[in-house]
Amino acid sequence: MTSVRVDKHDGNEAAATSSEGYERGLGPRQVQMIAIGGAIGVGLFLGAGANIAKAGPSLILMYALAGVIIFFIMRALGELLLYRPVSGSFAEYSREFLGPFFGYVTGWTYWLMWIVTGMAELTAAAIYINYWFPAIPQWVTALVFLVVLYIANLISVKLFGEIEFWFSMVKVTALVGMIVIGLGVLTFGFSAAGDTAAVSNLWAFDGFFPKGIGSSLMTLQGVMFAYLAVELVGVTAGESENPEKTLPKAINSLPWRIALFYVGALTVILCVVKWTEFAPGVSPFVAAFAKIGIPAGAAIVNFVVLTAALSSCNSGMYSTGRMLRDLASNGEAPKALGKLAASKTPAIGITVSVALMGIGVLLNYVVPEKAFGYVTSVATAAGIWTWMMILVSHIRYRRAVEAGRLPASSFPAPGGSVCSWIALVFLLFVTGLIAYDPDSRISLYVGAGWAIALAIGWFLMRGNKTEGTAEPTREYADVAK
């Protein structure tokens, strides 16, 4: 197995280049905003509408519960990142602690998650542009966005980080503004919503669980989709100027981000507007602004959701290129995908990924609207696999540290591996919910087909591998025991 062990202190003093050849071009400001932006996406701005209709005010509790689990996952990842900060991140840790096959599956599955997400987000962005320019064909807009973001990702990691910084800034500013306006309506009673806005709206209409606890739990799969990409900060490890400082700070800020942007924003909105007035397919933020009576409210939210979609697509291009390079460096993808351009970016890997995302432009002609719901469920299933591999790798790592086989991380997860076990059980429960729901069950069928394809690819590649890449090193094999 071709894998380089990186000392956690090497290159942490703002070195120009990481040991993997990447430019350490992401500063603390950009890493912080990438982490914040990863927790705010289209799943919140649009998906919350359908979930409110299913669960009512209890959706707030579901976001809070899932948020706790996400924090457990990120602290587990954080401990691994400070033990060995690498751009391959969770695929590398799966490879180290579970064996080459699991690293291979995790890397390719995370790549698939971003490819299908990128397809959906491109189409979504084109739809949002149609709000202002209905005469422009959707495929044209989608193609323009694809090309612009592709070029930006090829130029340098600094440019990617800067674009993601401003995308995240727009989302954060918009959400904070919505919360402040909502609190103003609740406190001072101004606007058309002032007469009916009240905290009692959280329980006054058939209670806090109006559709029953079972219906509330069924929204967890959609809630988890909203949190996809929060792990992206782990992929930046190999290109952060000072991962020893920036990554713990970014991960530790996750609880207040979830509390403010998810739990806080939804609580305020559901106090201002009765949950019965929200409908699937309509952003709850658009509905709330319309109720309050802000003239440009719909246009503002449309712009913010457009930003969220482009941010997701931008992140997808970044992460897929890095994952393909990690796979190639371990003999699990064509060698050409492992090459870096003069700009220190994995240009070939990004190009291949963008070409496949471009299929989403063509799908605008032929794929019905419901198919994009299927795409999001496939992305959720792929994301859950990634999170599970982070947790299992963390459990294996802690076992190795306790046995004295590996050095302790400078950023240990609270509760050791106990919280990882809790999160793992929770993710298995959510997988059961996906299997139970007829609409999302298709993602498991796709997952089964994907697993068969990966298994075939693995056995074909093993026949072509050199002796050095066929098996894990002795050190890694010992760790996995």
Residues with Cβ within 8 Å of residue 94, at least 6 apart in sequence: 102, 103, 105, 106, 107, 389, 392, 393
Closest CA to 95 of 331, 255, 265, 278: 331
pLDDT tens digits for range 354-403: 998 887 667 655 654 555 566 777 888 889 999 999 999 999 999 999 99
Cβ count within 10 A of residue 32: 17
pLDDT tens digits for range 136-164: 887 888 889 999 999 999 988 888 888 88
User: Is residue 476's pLDDT more than 50?
Assistant: no
Task: Give pLDDT, residue 87.
Answer: 66
Grade residue 478 by pLDDT with cuts at 50, 70 and 90. very low
| Average pLDDT score, the chain | 82
3-state secondary structure at position 355: helix
User: Is residue 10's pLDDT more than 50?
Assistant: no
User: Is residue 422's pLDDT more than 90?
Assistant: yes
Task: Give pLDDT, residue 455.
Answer: 93
Task: Give pLDDT, residue 371.
Answer: 55
Give dist(CA 312, CA 225) in Å, integer: 12
Backbone angles phi, psi at 278, to 5 degrees: -95, 150
Task: Give pLDDT, residue 426.
Answer: 97
**Torsion angle in degrees (nearest 10) through CA of 93, 468, 450, 355:** 90
Task: Give pLDDT, residue 461.
Answer: 82
Q: Are 325 and 346 in contact (CB under 8 A)?
A: yes
Task: Give pLDDT, residue 474.
Answer: 36
What pTM value is reported for the model?
0.85
Task: Give pLDDT, residue 363.
Answer: 65
* % the chain with pLDDT above 70: 85
pLDDT tens digits for range 284-316: 887 888 788 877 777 888 888 888 888 888 888
Mean pLDDT check: name the lowest of 186-195, 244-253, 443-452: 186-195
Q: Transcribe 154-180 into DSSP letters.
A: HH-HHHHHHHHHHHHHHHHHHHHHHHH
Grade residue 238 by pLDDT with cuts at 50, 70 and 90. low
pLDDT tens digits for range 30-53: 777 777 676 677 677 777 888 898
CA dihedral (316, 452, 4, 70) positive or negative = positive
pLDDT tens digits for range 304-348: 888 888 888 888 888 888 889 888 888 888 888 988 888 888 899
What region, left, alpha or beta, does residue 415 occupy, with left being phi > 0 and alpha being psi -120 to 50 degrees?
Answer: left
Task: Give pLDDT, residue 38.
Answer: 64
Closest CA to 234 of 451, 387, 400: 387
The mean pLDDT value for 240-259 works out to: 83
Residue with the larger pLDDT of the pair 256 and 427:
427
* % the chain with pLDDT above 90: 30
The mean pLDDT value for 94-120 works out to: 90
The mean pLDDT value for 453-477 works out to: 63
